[in-house]
Structure 1
Amino acid sequence: MSELAIDVYMDTSCPWCRMGTTSLLTALKQLPEGKKATVRWNAFQINPGIRAEGEDYRQVMIGRLGGVPQFEARKKQYDDNGKHFGLKYNMDLVKYTPNTVLSHQLIAMAPEHLKVQLIEKIYTSYFEEGINIGDVNELVKIGAAIGVGDAADLKERLTQGEELGKVESSQATAQKLGVRGVPFFVINEEVSLSGLQSPADFVKLFEQM
């Protein structure tokens, strides 16, 4: 049995990371015979300087992209690309650009068998329902709903900084690797892939390793 160790660097407010995660998970269902994969989910905040309470999503994006037409085009881009992965983006419902540190802490806290379900639920909550995933009260509802723990207990653990060190360590490792944007994938600490990949791209690579 040949084992693949896959490190995924991602952010929970990154539309491309959501697509990249879905693409990877689709590919893992098509693993070549005799191969087994372990996935490690690593934090990479694309907006680390955002205030804890979040900032106005529309204003942040218009400022970053250079105008309203560019912002509207980008939203359409998310919709068009997302459809290829069976994903929906209701970006008109998104009011906040969140600080994602708490969401990464929650993912680090989650038992291994619940991590993927939690990540997908966080993505759905943000991109389809417009929930502010930087709000600790919203996050603990998400975590409790899929069985990560009791909401009150999760809130206490998050606010006390549980797994914050791991989140900061992931960010530091990404910087050492030269990661400039996400999603970013490292296979067996040998092969690095930057940006969105198709399931077929992943499968082809897995066959070669």
Structure 2
Amino acid sequence: MRSLRIDIVSDVVCPWCIIGYKSLQAALKLLSNEIQAQIHWHPFELNPTMPQGGENLRDHLTRKYGTTREASIEARNKLTQLGAEVGFDFNFFEEMRIYNTRKAHQMLMWANQHHKQNELELALFEAYFCHEKPIDNESVLIQIAVDIGLDKAQCVQVLSDESWAKAVANTEQQWLQAGIHAVPAIIIEQKHLISGAQTTENLVNTLRSIAHKAISTH
């Protein structure tokens, strides 16, 4: 059994990030007799200057990328199909909004200290993509955290403490300086970079190859 450290740089409003993770999860399940993974999530904000309340997702994509309505519909259909293939149910809707995720990342960084980071990450993806939750809203974030067993009073403190916001910003800056400019970015053993959402088959082959090389060099 080979132990691998897997770092994932991601944002909770990035559909490709949850697709990529679900593919990774499936790959690790197939390799459960060969590899044991320690997963660590790291912050990346797609829209760090987004104001409270967010922006209509379709309007946002038009403004940022020039995406047409037809292209938006096609993209949502494709994402929904890819999500279904890896076991994630996207619920795109007409008035869907995109949000600032700084506070969500503060929570995730804190949850790591309580061994609840992976659970919170998945709960945030589901809240946003499946249940139409405004994940820049503190009450919503606190409820999500409490639902997975985190302490409410500590949640409130983390969300209001500027040092947590600075810690997120500093971590993001470190990843940018390391050359990570798009997500998901999956880093295996702190040296093998996998960019974008990969298929489960590709991930199985890559992980197996890295694990075997690691064993042969020991």
CA drift of 1:20 comes to: 1.1
User: Match of 2:46?
Assistant: 46
CA contact (8 A) 1:62 1:70 kept: no
Which of 140, 143, 153 is the equivalent residue of 1:138? 140
The secondary structure found in structure 1 opposite 2:198 is coil
> Which amino acid in the other structure matches residue 187 of structure 1?
I
- Residue 201 to residue 69, structure 1, CA distance change in 2 (3 Å): same
Task: Give CA-to-partner distance per residue, 1:23-79, whole Å, 9 cap, x none.
Answer: 222222233645332111010111112113322222112323432112111211211
Q: Which runs of 5+ in 2 are unaligned?
A: 211-218
Q: Which residue of 2 aligns with 1:120?
A: 122
Please state whether the residue corresponding to 2:40 is helix, strand or coil: strand
Once structures 1 and 2 are overlaid, which stretch shifts more, 165-174 or 67-76? 165-174
Query: CA distance change for structure 1 residues 39 and 100 in 2, over 3 Å: closer, same or farther?
Result: same
Aligned to 1:201: 202
Does the CA-based 8 Å contact 1:19-1:85 persist in structure 2? yes
| TM score, norm. by length of structure 1 | 0.90
In 1: Cα distance, 2:179 partner to 2:52 partner: 26
**Shift in alpha-carbon separation, 1:200–1:162, aligned structure 2, 3 A:** farther
| Matches of 2:3 and 2:44, distance apart in 1 | 25
Q: Taking structure 1 as reference, are residues 94 and 177 closer, same or farther at Cα in structure 2, changes over 3 Å only?
A: farther
Structure-1 separation of matches of 2:119 and 2:94: 22
**Superposition TM-score, scaled by structure 2 size:** 0.87
SS of the residue aligned with 2:105?
Answer: helix
Residue number in structure 2 paired with 1:84: 85
CA contact (8 A) 1:23 1:197 kept: yes
Aligned position for 1:178:
179
In the alignment of these two chains, the number of paired residues is: 208
Aligned partners of 1:129 and 1:72: how far apart in 2? 19
Decide which moves more: 69-78 or 108-117.
108-117
CA separation in 2, counterparts of 1:128 and 1:162?
31
Q: Which runs of 5+ in 1 are unaligned?
A: none
SS of aligned partner of 1:4: strand
User: Cα distance 1:69–1:20, how it changes in 2: closer, same or farther (>3 A)?
Assistant: same
Separation of aligned partners in 2, 1:171 and 1:6: 17
Q: Deviations over 1:162-206 (max 9, x none)?
A: 532331232112212222211011111221110011222222122
Please report how far the alpha carbon of residue 93 of structure 1 lies from its aligned counterpart in structure 2 after TM superposition. Answer: 6.1
Structure 1 vs Structure 2: percent identity of aligned residues? Answer: 25
Q: Secondary structure at the match of 2:49?
A: coil
Q: What do the CA deviations read for 1:130-181 (whole angstroms, capped 9, x no partner)? A: 111111111111001111112x441232122353233123211221222221
Cα deviation, residue 9, structure 1: 0.5
CA RMSD of aligned residues (A): 1.9
The 3 A distance-change label for structure 1 pair 144 and 93 is: farther
